[in-house]
Amino acid sequence: MKTLQTLSQSTLGLLLCLAVGGLCGVFAAQAGAFAYFIGELYLSVVNMAAVPLLVVATFFGLRQVLALPRPTVRTGTIVGLAVGLVVLCAIGGTLAGVLMMPGQHLSIAAHEQLGGLVLKSAGDGGEVRVTLFGQAAHAASNVGAYGVHDLFPDNFYRVLAEGRSLGILTGTILFGMAFATLSRDQSNMLNNVFEGVYRTLEVIIAHANLLIPVLAFGMAAHLTSHTERATLSAMGGFLLCFLLVTLLLGGFALAMITARSSQPLGQVIKGLKAPLLVGLTSGSATAPIPHTIEAMSAGLGFSRGIVELVVPFGSVFVRAGSALYFALATVFVANLYERPLDASDIAMIAAAATLASFISAGQNGVATVGYTGVVLSFLHLPVEAAGVLFVTIDLICEGPRNVLSLLSVCTVIALVSAGLPSERTQFADGHSHGGPQLGQVLRFEFTRAQLVLAVGCAAVAASLIVLMGIGVGAR
Protein backbone atom coordinates (compact mmCIF):
# COMPACT_ATOMS: atom_id res chain seq x y z
CA MET A 1 0.00 0.00 0.00
CA LYS A 2 2.82 2.42 0.90
CA THR A 3 4.56 1.57 -2.38
CA LEU A 4 1.43 2.44 -4.39
CA GLN A 5 1.01 5.67 -2.44
CA THR A 6 4.62 6.67 -3.12
CA LEU A 7 4.38 5.83 -6.83
CA SER A 8 1.05 7.63 -7.25
CA GLN A 9 2.63 10.84 -5.94
CA SER A 10 5.89 10.57 -7.91
CA THR A 11 6.12 11.77 -11.51
CA LEU A 12 9.29 9.75 -12.06
CA GLY A 13 7.63 6.66 -10.60
CA LEU A 14 4.64 7.01 -12.92
CA LEU A 15 6.89 7.42 -15.95
CA LEU A 16 8.73 4.28 -14.86
CA CYS A 17 5.40 2.42 -14.65
CA LEU A 18 4.58 3.52 -18.20
CA ALA A 19 7.96 2.37 -19.51
CA VAL A 20 7.89 -0.99 -17.74
CA GLY A 21 4.28 -1.51 -18.81
CA GLY A 22 5.20 -0.92 -22.44
CA LEU A 23 7.94 -3.54 -22.24
CA CYS A 24 5.60 -5.92 -20.44
CA GLY A 25 3.08 -5.64 -23.27
CA VAL A 26 5.74 -6.93 -25.67
CA PHE A 27 7.44 -9.62 -23.60
CA ALA A 28 4.87 -10.59 -20.93
CA ALA A 29 1.42 -9.97 -22.35
CA GLN A 30 -0.43 -11.95 -19.68
CA ALA A 31 0.95 -9.86 -16.80
CA GLY A 32 0.10 -6.73 -18.76
CA ALA A 33 -3.44 -8.00 -19.34
CA PHE A 34 -3.93 -8.55 -15.60
CA ALA A 35 -2.67 -5.05 -14.79
CA TYR A 36 -4.97 -3.66 -17.48
CA PHE A 37 -7.90 -5.47 -15.85
CA ILE A 38 -7.06 -3.88 -12.46
CA GLY A 39 -6.77 -0.50 -14.17
CA GLU A 40 -10.21 -0.96 -15.70
CA LEU A 41 -11.62 -1.67 -12.23
CA TYR A 42 -10.06 1.58 -11.02
CA LEU A 43 -11.61 3.51 -13.91
CA SER A 44 -14.99 1.92 -13.18
CA VAL A 45 -14.83 3.19 -9.60
CA VAL A 46 -13.74 6.67 -10.71
CA ASN A 47 -16.46 6.88 -13.37
CA MET A 48 -19.01 5.66 -10.83
CA ALA A 49 -18.07 8.58 -8.58
CA ALA A 50 -17.50 11.07 -11.41
CA VAL A 51 -21.06 11.12 -12.76
CA PRO A 52 -22.85 11.99 -9.47
CA LEU A 53 -20.00 14.35 -8.58
CA LEU A 54 -20.54 16.10 -11.94
CA VAL A 55 -24.16 16.70 -10.94
CA VAL A 56 -23.41 17.95 -7.42
CA ALA A 57 -20.44 20.09 -8.49
CA THR A 58 -22.53 21.80 -11.16
CA PHE A 59 -25.21 22.63 -8.56
CA PHE A 60 -22.67 24.28 -6.29
CA GLY A 61 -20.82 25.96 -9.17
CA LEU A 62 -23.98 27.58 -10.53
CA ARG A 63 -24.95 28.81 -7.09
CA GLN A 64 -21.55 30.38 -6.45
CA VAL A 65 -21.19 31.98 -9.89
CA LEU A 66 -24.70 33.45 -9.82
CA ALA A 67 -23.87 34.97 -6.41
CA LEU A 68 -20.87 36.85 -7.84
CA PRO A 69 -21.04 40.37 -9.29
CA ARG A 70 -22.12 40.49 -12.95
CA PRO A 71 -22.86 36.77 -13.36
CA THR A 72 -24.12 37.26 -16.93
CA VAL A 73 -20.85 38.83 -18.06
CA ARG A 74 -18.85 36.18 -16.26
CA THR A 75 -20.86 33.32 -17.76
CA GLY A 76 -20.65 34.89 -21.22
CA THR A 77 -16.88 35.18 -20.83
CA ILE A 78 -16.64 31.49 -19.94
CA VAL A 79 -18.61 30.48 -23.04
CA GLY A 80 -16.67 32.86 -25.29
CA LEU A 81 -13.29 31.63 -24.08
CA ALA A 82 -14.37 28.00 -24.40
CA VAL A 83 -15.51 28.47 -28.00
CA GLY A 84 -12.40 30.51 -28.80
CA LEU A 85 -10.03 27.79 -27.56
CA VAL A 86 -11.82 25.11 -29.59
CA VAL A 87 -11.62 27.29 -32.71
CA LEU A 88 -7.93 27.98 -32.01
CA CYS A 89 -7.16 24.26 -31.81
CA ALA A 90 -9.08 23.57 -35.04
CA ILE A 91 -7.13 26.31 -36.83
CA GLY A 92 -3.86 25.08 -35.32
CA GLY A 93 -4.50 21.52 -36.47
CA THR A 94 -5.37 22.64 -39.99
CA LEU A 95 -2.32 24.87 -40.37
CA ALA A 96 -0.01 22.24 -38.86
CA GLY A 97 -1.34 19.69 -41.34
CA VAL A 98 -0.78 22.06 -44.26
CA LEU A 99 2.76 22.86 -43.13
CA MET A 100 3.91 19.37 -42.10
CA MET A 101 1.93 17.54 -44.83
CA PRO A 102 1.32 14.17 -43.10
CA GLY A 103 0.18 11.47 -45.54
CA GLN A 104 2.14 12.87 -48.48
CA HIS A 105 4.99 10.99 -50.16
CA LEU A 106 4.35 7.74 -48.33
CA SER A 107 6.44 4.73 -49.27
CA ILE A 108 5.05 1.91 -51.38
CA ALA A 109 5.01 -0.38 -48.34
CA ALA A 110 3.02 2.18 -46.34
CA HIS A 111 0.47 2.54 -49.16
CA GLU A 112 0.13 -1.23 -49.36
CA GLN A 113 -0.40 -1.52 -45.60
CA LEU A 114 -3.08 1.19 -45.49
CA GLY A 115 -4.74 -0.13 -48.64
CA GLY A 116 -4.80 -3.61 -47.12
CA LEU A 117 -6.58 -2.30 -44.02
CA VAL A 118 -9.23 -0.58 -46.14
CA LEU A 119 -9.74 -3.62 -48.39
CA LYS A 120 -9.97 -5.92 -45.38
CA SER A 121 -12.69 -3.77 -43.90
CA ALA A 122 -14.54 -3.65 -47.21
CA GLY A 123 -14.22 -7.39 -47.75
CA ASP A 124 -15.17 -8.85 -44.38
CA GLY A 125 -15.77 -5.91 -42.06
CA GLY A 126 -19.17 -4.63 -43.15
CA GLU A 127 -20.37 -4.90 -39.58
CA VAL A 128 -17.49 -2.68 -38.45
CA ARG A 129 -18.48 0.04 -40.88
CA VAL A 130 -22.02 0.03 -39.57
CA THR A 131 -21.15 0.17 -35.85
CA LEU A 132 -18.27 2.59 -36.05
CA PHE A 133 -19.46 4.98 -38.70
CA GLY A 134 -23.21 4.80 -38.44
CA GLN A 135 -23.09 7.65 -35.93
CA ALA A 136 -20.95 9.75 -38.22
CA ALA A 137 -23.28 9.27 -41.16
CA HIS A 138 -26.24 10.07 -38.98
CA ALA A 139 -24.50 13.16 -37.66
CA ALA A 140 -23.61 14.34 -41.15
CA SER A 141 -27.13 13.93 -42.48
CA ASN A 142 -29.24 14.81 -39.46
CA VAL A 143 -27.27 16.97 -37.03
CA GLY A 144 -30.28 18.81 -35.70
CA ALA A 145 -32.25 15.71 -34.69
CA TYR A 146 -29.23 14.14 -33.03
CA GLY A 147 -28.47 17.28 -31.04
CA VAL A 148 -32.05 17.76 -29.79
CA HIS A 149 -32.38 14.11 -28.81
CA ASP A 150 -29.20 14.11 -26.74
CA LEU A 151 -29.28 17.68 -25.48
CA PHE A 152 -32.85 17.63 -24.12
CA PRO A 153 -33.59 14.12 -22.81
CA ASP A 154 -37.17 13.29 -21.86
CA ASN A 155 -36.08 11.26 -18.83
CA PHE A 156 -33.27 12.56 -16.61
CA TYR A 157 -33.05 9.35 -14.58
CA ARG A 158 -32.53 7.29 -17.73
CA VAL A 159 -29.60 9.37 -19.01
CA LEU A 160 -28.18 9.36 -15.48
CA ALA A 161 -28.33 5.56 -15.36
CA GLU A 162 -26.85 5.25 -18.87
CA GLY A 163 -24.07 7.74 -18.09
CA ARG A 164 -24.88 10.01 -21.08
CA SER A 165 -22.94 13.09 -20.01
CA LEU A 166 -24.56 15.52 -22.47
CA GLY A 167 -28.10 14.83 -21.24
CA ILE A 168 -26.93 14.71 -17.63
CA LEU A 169 -25.32 18.14 -17.91
CA THR A 170 -28.45 19.67 -19.47
CA GLY A 171 -30.73 18.40 -16.74
CA THR A 172 -28.24 19.40 -14.07
CA ILE A 173 -27.91 22.96 -15.36
CA LEU A 174 -31.68 23.44 -15.47
CA PHE A 175 -32.10 22.04 -11.97
CA GLY A 176 -29.08 23.97 -10.70
CA MET A 177 -30.37 27.30 -12.02
CA ALA A 178 -33.66 26.75 -10.22
CA PHE A 179 -31.79 25.61 -7.10
CA ALA A 180 -29.65 28.76 -7.17
CA THR A 181 -32.72 31.03 -7.10
CA LEU A 182 -33.90 29.60 -3.76
CA SER A 183 -33.05 31.37 -0.54
CA ARG A 184 -30.55 29.72 1.78
CA ASP A 185 -33.30 28.99 4.31
CA GLN A 186 -35.30 27.14 1.66
CA SER A 187 -32.34 25.15 0.33
CA ASN A 188 -30.37 24.59 3.52
CA MET A 189 -31.43 20.95 4.04
CA LEU A 190 -30.81 19.97 0.41
CA ASN A 191 -27.53 21.87 0.52
CA ASN A 192 -26.37 19.79 3.50
CA VAL A 193 -27.32 16.57 1.68
CA PHE A 194 -25.33 17.62 -1.39
CA GLU A 195 -22.39 18.55 0.82
CA GLY A 196 -22.38 15.09 2.41
CA VAL A 197 -22.58 13.40 -1.00
CA TYR A 198 -19.76 15.59 -2.30
CA ARG A 199 -17.41 14.73 0.57
CA THR A 200 -18.24 11.01 0.35
CA LEU A 201 -17.37 10.90 -3.33
CA GLU A 202 -14.11 12.72 -2.65
CA VAL A 203 -13.14 10.05 -0.08
CA ILE A 204 -13.91 7.24 -2.56
CA ILE A 205 -11.77 8.84 -5.24
CA ALA A 206 -8.90 9.61 -2.84
CA HIS A 207 -8.61 5.92 -1.93
CA ALA A 208 -9.04 4.78 -5.53
CA ASN A 209 -6.16 7.03 -6.62
CA LEU A 210 -3.73 4.58 -5.06
CA LEU A 211 -4.23 2.42 -8.17
CA ILE A 212 -3.03 5.12 -10.60
CA PRO A 213 0.41 3.42 -11.01
CA VAL A 214 -1.32 0.12 -11.86
CA LEU A 215 -3.49 1.99 -14.38
CA ALA A 216 -0.42 3.52 -16.05
CA PHE A 217 1.33 0.14 -16.18
CA GLY A 218 -1.70 -1.72 -17.55
CA MET A 219 -2.62 0.83 -20.20
CA ALA A 220 0.95 0.98 -21.52
CA ALA A 221 1.04 -2.82 -21.73
CA HIS A 222 -2.35 -2.94 -23.46
CA LEU A 223 -1.27 -0.30 -25.98
CA THR A 224 1.95 -2.00 -27.01
CA SER A 225 0.33 -5.43 -27.27
CA HIS A 226 -2.63 -4.35 -29.41
CA THR A 227 -1.02 -2.02 -31.96
CA GLU A 228 0.57 -3.41 -35.14
CA ARG A 229 4.03 -2.08 -35.94
CA ALA A 230 3.33 -1.94 -39.68
CA THR A 231 0.25 0.23 -39.10
CA LEU A 232 2.19 2.49 -36.74
CA SER A 233 4.86 2.92 -39.39
CA ALA A 234 2.34 3.71 -42.13
CA MET A 235 0.45 6.20 -39.93
CA GLY A 236 3.64 7.55 -38.37
CA GLY A 237 3.45 10.92 -40.13
CA PHE A 238 -0.03 11.63 -38.80
CA LEU A 239 0.82 10.42 -35.28
CA LEU A 240 4.00 12.49 -35.12
CA CYS A 241 2.24 15.63 -36.31
CA PHE A 242 -0.70 15.10 -33.95
CA LEU A 243 1.48 14.49 -30.90
CA LEU A 244 3.79 17.44 -31.65
CA VAL A 245 0.92 19.91 -32.08
CA THR A 246 -0.77 18.52 -28.96
CA LEU A 247 2.43 19.06 -26.97
CA LEU A 248 2.80 22.57 -28.36
CA LEU A 249 -0.76 23.65 -27.57
CA GLY A 250 -0.69 21.81 -24.23
CA GLY A 251 2.52 23.62 -23.30
CA PHE A 252 0.91 26.94 -24.19
CA ALA A 253 -2.06 26.10 -21.96
CA LEU A 254 0.24 25.14 -19.07
CA ALA A 255 2.10 28.43 -19.49
CA MET A 256 -1.19 30.36 -19.24
CA ILE A 257 -2.25 28.43 -16.14
CA THR A 258 1.17 28.99 -14.56
CA ALA A 259 1.07 32.72 -15.23
CA ARG A 260 -2.42 33.08 -13.75
CA SER A 261 -1.75 30.94 -10.69
CA SER A 262 1.51 32.78 -9.83
CA GLN A 263 3.09 29.44 -8.99
CA PRO A 264 6.16 27.71 -10.51
CA LEU A 265 5.61 25.52 -13.54
CA GLY A 266 6.79 22.47 -11.62
CA GLN A 267 4.17 23.06 -8.94
CA VAL A 268 1.43 23.43 -11.57
CA ILE A 269 2.46 20.20 -13.28
CA LYS A 270 2.58 18.42 -9.93
CA GLY A 271 -0.89 19.67 -9.05
CA LEU A 272 -2.37 18.60 -12.39
CA LYS A 273 -0.51 15.27 -12.50
CA ALA A 274 -3.42 13.10 -11.37
CA PRO A 275 -6.12 14.51 -13.72
CA LEU A 276 -3.71 14.56 -16.66
CA LEU A 277 -2.72 10.94 -16.09
CA VAL A 278 -6.33 9.79 -15.72
CA GLY A 279 -7.29 11.70 -18.87
CA LEU A 280 -4.32 10.24 -20.76
CA THR A 281 -5.02 6.63 -19.86
CA SER A 282 -8.75 6.34 -19.23
CA GLY A 283 -10.22 7.26 -22.62
CA SER A 284 -12.97 9.10 -20.72
CA ALA A 285 -13.65 12.82 -20.53
CA THR A 286 -15.61 12.54 -17.26
CA ALA A 287 -13.18 10.38 -15.27
CA PRO A 288 -10.73 13.26 -14.56
CA ILE A 289 -13.50 15.58 -13.26
CA PRO A 290 -12.98 14.92 -9.52
CA HIS A 291 -9.19 15.19 -9.77
CA THR A 292 -9.41 18.39 -11.82
CA ILE A 293 -11.76 20.11 -9.37
CA GLU A 294 -9.47 19.31 -6.46
CA ALA A 295 -6.28 20.27 -8.34
CA MET A 296 -7.52 23.60 -9.70
CA SER A 297 -9.23 24.77 -6.49
CA ALA A 298 -7.45 23.36 -3.42
CA GLY A 299 -4.14 22.72 -5.23
CA LEU A 300 -3.66 25.81 -7.40
CA GLY A 301 -5.98 28.21 -5.57
CA PHE A 302 -8.46 29.16 -8.28
CA SER A 303 -12.05 30.09 -7.46
CA ARG A 304 -13.86 26.94 -6.39
CA GLY A 305 -17.20 28.24 -7.62
CA ILE A 306 -15.77 28.83 -11.11
CA VAL A 307 -13.98 25.47 -11.05
CA GLU A 308 -17.09 23.51 -10.08
CA LEU A 309 -19.08 25.09 -12.91
CA VAL A 310 -16.50 25.06 -15.71
CA VAL A 311 -15.00 21.57 -15.21
CA PRO A 312 -18.26 19.58 -15.68
CA PHE A 313 -19.38 21.90 -18.49
CA GLY A 314 -15.98 21.80 -20.19
CA SER A 315 -15.60 18.03 -19.93
CA VAL A 316 -18.62 17.68 -22.22
CA PHE A 317 -18.42 20.68 -24.55
CA VAL A 318 -14.84 22.02 -24.63
CA ARG A 319 -13.46 19.37 -26.97
CA ALA A 320 -10.35 21.19 -28.12
CA GLY A 321 -8.40 17.96 -28.58
CA SER A 322 -11.11 16.55 -30.83
CA ALA A 323 -11.15 19.73 -32.95
CA LEU A 324 -7.40 19.41 -33.49
CA TYR A 325 -7.76 15.72 -34.30
CA PHE A 326 -10.58 16.21 -36.82
CA ALA A 327 -8.73 18.96 -38.68
CA LEU A 328 -5.43 17.10 -38.84
CA ALA A 329 -7.08 13.81 -39.85
CA THR A 330 -8.87 15.54 -42.73
CA VAL A 331 -5.64 17.06 -44.05
CA PHE A 332 -3.98 13.63 -43.78
CA VAL A 333 -6.72 11.97 -45.83
CA ALA A 334 -6.60 14.77 -48.42
CA ASN A 335 -2.84 14.24 -48.81
CA LEU A 336 -3.29 10.47 -48.92
CA TYR A 337 -5.71 10.79 -51.84
CA GLU A 338 -3.65 13.59 -53.43
CA ARG A 339 -6.44 16.12 -53.05
CA PRO A 340 -4.97 19.65 -53.31
CA LEU A 341 -6.15 22.17 -50.72
CA ASP A 342 -6.65 25.86 -51.46
CA ALA A 343 -7.37 28.71 -49.02
CA SER A 344 -11.13 28.09 -49.04
CA ASP A 345 -10.60 24.38 -48.31
CA ILE A 346 -8.36 25.22 -45.37
CA ALA A 347 -10.97 27.57 -43.93
CA MET A 348 -13.65 24.94 -44.51
CA ILE A 349 -11.64 22.29 -42.66
CA ALA A 350 -11.10 24.53 -39.63
CA ALA A 351 -14.78 25.51 -39.48
CA ALA A 352 -16.04 21.96 -40.02
CA ALA A 353 -13.63 20.58 -37.39
CA THR A 354 -15.02 23.11 -34.89
CA LEU A 355 -18.57 22.06 -35.76
CA ALA A 356 -17.73 18.36 -35.49
CA SER A 357 -16.14 18.85 -32.07
CA PHE A 358 -19.35 20.38 -30.70
CA ILE A 359 -21.76 17.86 -32.21
CA SER A 360 -19.61 15.02 -30.85
CA ALA A 361 -20.14 16.30 -27.30
CA GLY A 362 -20.65 13.44 -24.87
CA GLN A 363 -18.87 10.87 -27.08
CA ASN A 364 -15.59 9.12 -26.22
CA GLY A 365 -13.19 6.63 -27.74
CA VAL A 366 -13.95 5.08 -31.13
CA ALA A 367 -17.30 6.89 -31.30
CA THR A 368 -15.34 10.16 -31.58
CA VAL A 369 -13.44 8.88 -34.62
CA GLY A 370 -16.69 8.53 -36.56
CA TYR A 371 -17.26 12.28 -36.46
CA THR A 372 -14.21 12.80 -38.64
CA GLY A 373 -16.62 11.92 -41.44
CA VAL A 374 -18.49 15.18 -40.84
CA VAL A 375 -15.39 17.11 -41.89
CA LEU A 376 -14.39 14.72 -44.68
CA SER A 377 -17.85 14.96 -46.25
CA PHE A 378 -17.39 18.70 -46.88
CA LEU A 379 -14.39 17.96 -49.11
CA HIS A 380 -16.05 14.93 -50.73
CA LEU A 381 -13.36 12.61 -49.39
CA PRO A 382 -14.06 8.90 -48.66
CA VAL A 383 -15.49 8.73 -45.16
CA GLU A 384 -15.70 5.04 -44.28
CA ALA A 385 -12.50 3.88 -45.99
CA ALA A 386 -10.45 6.67 -44.39
CA GLY A 387 -12.10 6.18 -41.02
CA VAL A 388 -10.92 2.57 -40.82
CA LEU A 389 -7.33 3.83 -40.75
CA PHE A 390 -7.90 6.04 -37.69
CA VAL A 391 -9.74 3.34 -35.74
CA THR A 392 -6.54 1.26 -35.81
CA ILE A 393 -4.55 3.97 -33.98
CA ASP A 394 -7.28 5.40 -31.77
CA LEU A 395 -5.78 3.79 -28.66
CA ILE A 396 -2.82 6.13 -29.11
CA CYS A 397 -4.79 9.25 -30.02
CA GLU A 398 -7.62 9.25 -27.48
CA GLY A 399 -5.34 9.98 -24.52
CA PRO A 400 -3.68 13.09 -26.00
CA ARG A 401 -7.12 14.30 -27.20
CA ASN A 402 -8.47 14.15 -23.65
CA VAL A 403 -5.37 15.80 -22.18
CA LEU A 404 -5.53 18.78 -24.56
CA SER A 405 -9.25 19.22 -23.89
CA LEU A 406 -8.61 19.05 -20.14
CA LEU A 407 -5.85 21.65 -20.32
CA SER A 408 -8.13 23.91 -22.36
CA VAL A 409 -10.78 23.67 -19.63
CA CYS A 410 -8.16 24.54 -17.01
CA THR A 411 -7.06 27.51 -19.12
CA VAL A 412 -10.62 28.84 -19.20
CA ILE A 413 -10.74 28.54 -15.40
CA ALA A 414 -7.41 30.32 -15.00
CA LEU A 415 -8.45 33.22 -17.23
CA VAL A 416 -11.90 33.69 -15.71
CA SER A 417 -10.84 33.25 -12.07
CA ALA A 418 -8.24 36.02 -12.23
CA GLY A 419 -9.08 38.89 -9.89
CA LEU A 420 -11.03 36.83 -7.34
CA PRO A 421 -8.57 36.36 -4.43
CA SER A 422 -11.30 36.49 -1.78
CA GLU A 423 -12.97 33.48 -3.39
CA ARG A 424 -9.68 31.60 -3.27
CA THR A 425 -9.44 32.31 0.46
CA GLN A 426 -13.02 31.19 0.92
CA PHE A 427 -12.71 27.84 -0.85
CA ALA A 428 -9.04 26.85 -1.12
CA ASP A 429 -9.06 25.19 2.30
CA GLY A 430 -12.12 23.07 1.39
CA HIS A 431 -14.71 24.97 3.48
CA SER A 432 -18.30 23.88 3.22
CA HIS A 433 -20.34 25.01 0.22
CA GLY A 434 -23.22 25.70 2.53
CA GLY A 435 -21.34 28.34 4.52
CA PRO A 436 -22.15 32.02 4.74
CA GLN A 437 -22.54 34.33 1.81
CA LEU A 438 -19.43 35.37 -0.09
CA GLY A 439 -17.75 38.52 1.10
CA GLN A 440 -16.82 41.49 -0.97
CA VAL A 441 -14.94 40.48 -4.12
CA LEU A 442 -13.04 42.44 -6.72
CA ARG A 443 -15.25 43.54 -9.57
CA PHE A 444 -14.83 41.63 -12.80
CA GLU A 445 -14.83 44.36 -15.46
CA PHE A 446 -13.93 44.93 -19.10
CA THR A 447 -13.04 48.12 -20.89
CA ARG A 448 -15.40 49.11 -23.68
CA ALA A 449 -12.89 48.03 -26.34
CA GLN A 450 -12.29 44.65 -24.68
CA LEU A 451 -16.02 44.01 -24.36
CA VAL A 452 -16.65 44.92 -28.02
CA LEU A 453 -13.80 42.64 -29.11
CA ALA A 454 -15.00 39.72 -26.97
CA VAL A 455 -18.60 40.06 -28.14
CA GLY A 456 -17.46 40.37 -31.76
CA CYS A 457 -15.32 37.23 -31.56
CA ALA A 458 -18.12 35.27 -29.93
CA ALA A 459 -20.61 36.48 -32.55
CA VAL A 460 -18.32 35.53 -35.44
CA ALA A 461 -17.67 32.07 -33.97
CA ALA A 462 -21.36 31.50 -33.29
CA SER A 463 -22.35 32.66 -36.78
CA LEU A 464 -19.76 30.37 -38.32
CA ILE A 465 -21.04 27.37 -36.38
CA VAL A 466 -24.67 28.16 -37.28
CA LEU A 467 -23.84 28.52 -40.97
CA MET A 468 -21.91 25.27 -40.95
CA GLY A 469 -24.82 23.56 -39.24
CA ILE A 470 -27.20 24.88 -41.91
CA GLY A 471 -24.81 23.60 -44.55
CA VAL A 472 -24.71 20.14 -43.02
CA GLY A 473 -28.48 20.05 -42.75
CA ALA A 474 -28.90 21.19 -46.36
CA ARG A 475 -26.72 18.34 -47.57
Q: How far apart are CA 342 and CA 391, in angstroms?
A: 28
Average pLDDT, the chain: 76
CA atoms within 13 A on the CB side of 4: 13
- Torsion on CA atoms 361, 364, 370, 374, rounded to nearest 10: 20
Q: What's the pLDDT at 248?
A: 95
Given this model, what pLDDT does residue 142 score? 41
pLDDT in tens, 233-247: 778 888 999 999 999
Residue 124 has pLDDT above 60, yes or no: no
Domain span at residue 398 reads 2-474
Identify which of 19-28, 63-72, 107-116, 248-257 has the greatest average pLDDT.
248-257
Residues in the chain, overall count? 475
Closest CA to 39 of 17, 19, 59, 56: 17
Dihedral of the CA atoms 217, 219, 225, 226 (nearest 10)? 180
Per-residue pLDDT tens over the stretch 243-269: 999 999 999 999 999 998 888 988 898
Q: How many helices (H) and strands (E) does the chain have?
A: 25, 0
DSSP 7-20: HHT-HHHHHHHHHH
Mean of the pLDDT values across residues 292-300?
Answer: 88
C-alpha closest to that of 380 among 168, 185, 169, 140: 140
Which amino acid does the sequence have at 44?
Answer: S
Q: CA–CA distance from 409 to each of 49, 61, 112, 147, 310 (Å)?
A: 20, 15, 40, 22, 7
pLDDT of 333 over the 50 cut = yes
Q: Decide if 357 contacts 86 (C-beta within 8 A).
A: yes
Per DSSP, 125 falls in state: -
When pLDDT is averaged across residues 135-158 and rounded to a whole number, the result is: 53
The helix/strand/coil state of 106 is: coil
- Do 12 and 213 touch, CB atoms closer than 8 A? no
Q: What is the number of domains present in the chain? A: 1
Whether 165 contacts 54, CB under 8 Å: yes
Question: 173: exposed, middle or buried (C-beta count within 10 Å: 0-12, 13-18, 19+)?
Answer: middle
pLDDT at 396: 84
| Beta-carbon contacts of residue 419 (< 8 Å; ≥ 6 apart) | 442, 444
Is 0.85 topped by the overall pTM?
A: no
Q: What Å distances lie between residue 104 and 121, 339, 387, CA to CA?
A: 23, 10, 17
What is the CATH number for 330? Answer: 1.10.3860.10
Confidence class for position 290, pLDDT limits 50, 70, 90: confident
